[in-house]
Amino acid sequence: MTGPSVSELDTIIGNSWKKPAFIKRTWLRWGLLIGALIYLVLAINSVEVNWHRVWEGLDRGARFVAAFARPDFVTRWTDISAGMLESIIMTIASSVVGIAISIPIGLGAARNISPLPVYLVCRGIVAISRALQEIIVAILLVAIFGFGPLAGFLTLSFATIGFLSKLLAEDIEAMDKVQAEAIRASGARWWQWINYGVQPQVMPRLIGLSMYRLDINFRESAILGLVGAGGIGATLNTAFDRYEYDTAAAILIIIIVIVMGLEYLSGIIRARVQ
């Protein structure tokens, strides 16, 4: 075996060894490190913590944790069940409408199957929907349409479009071209091409993503009530305001259980379609 010359080894022996740094340029490494430290110090100092208030609060926190051990489903059951029903209905309706609208928009936002003007319009819709959080959209829609589940329904549908269309479009752009072209080569019309060449490839993922979005919509529907857009959020807010931790705990437990159930269900469905 021909190793490096002996002298190379001799010069290296006795030298200390350090792990090569992740960022090679020294000034950049130290600059980033010092910058990060300065930021952290400034940030932490600017946070005003009323430790006295926190200390007092620990007692309430303990009571809240204790409330989880004996949640009260009964006292406000009518409020809870009405709010939950509204949340579930908003979730279902908005998921159906959102998915139905995201499919054409997703097709339009895929560069490889749609003409440029359509692509730009669809991408624009996706970008707007993704940049605005649900709660802000809900505030605006409540201002326009009034209080109630309609505003929540519209909010969640709108958010679903941004989420699903983007992922669907990316999926279509990444699909296997050969399969799709084989269908096109057989003289199919555009919609036939979509139906036979594109749909089978993206369908399993679309179903998986739809289930995931259903899950997200339910979680989001739980907060829309805070701004008057319907759902369990209003009930939850009232419970916190009145310090009724046992009722709040009951609501949170129901939310967690439903989310777990949805995740379990979507796991099964995804396993079946793939």
Interacting residue ranges for other proteins, rule: CB under 8 A: 1-4, 8-9, 12-20, 39, 43-44, 46-50, 53-54, 57-58, 60-61, 64, 85-86, 89-90, 92-93, 96, 131-133, 135-136, 139, 143-146, 148-150, 153, 219-220, 222-223, 226-227, 230, 233, 236-237, 240, 243, 248, 252, 255-256, 259-260, 263
Cβ of residue 115: shortest distance to other proteins, in angstroms?
Answer: 27
Q: What is the 3-state secondary structure (H, E, C) of 144-158?
A: HHCCCHHHHHHHHHH
Instruction: Enter the tokens of residue 250.
Output: 């009951």
Q: At what angle do helices 149-173 and 134-145 cross, to 10 degrees?
A: 140
- Choose between 109 and 141: whose C-beta lies nearer to other proteins: 141
* Residue closest to 232 by CA, chosen among 210, 257, 269, 211: 257
CB of 214 to other proteins, least distance (A): 13
Task: Give which of 236, 253, 214, 211 is closest to 82, Cα–Cα.
Answer: 236
The residue among 13 and 178 lying less far from other proteins, judged by its C-beta, is: 13
235 CB-near residues (< 8 Å, 6+ apart): 76, 79, 80, 82, 83, 225, 251
Whole-number minimum distance, CB 6 to other proteins, in Å?
Answer: 8
Q: Whose Cβ is closer to other proteins: residue 40's or residue 174's?
A: 40
**Cβ at position 252, least distance to other proteins in Å:** 6
User: Burial of 169 by CB count in 10 Å (0-12 exposed, 13-18 middle, 19+ buried)?
Assistant: buried
Give the nearer residue to other proteins in terms of CB position, either 26 or 50: 50
Considering the complex, what minimum distance in angstroms separates the CB of residue 232 from other proteins? 10
| 177 or 195: CB nearest other proteins | 195
> What is the radius of gyration, based on Cα positions, of the chain?
27
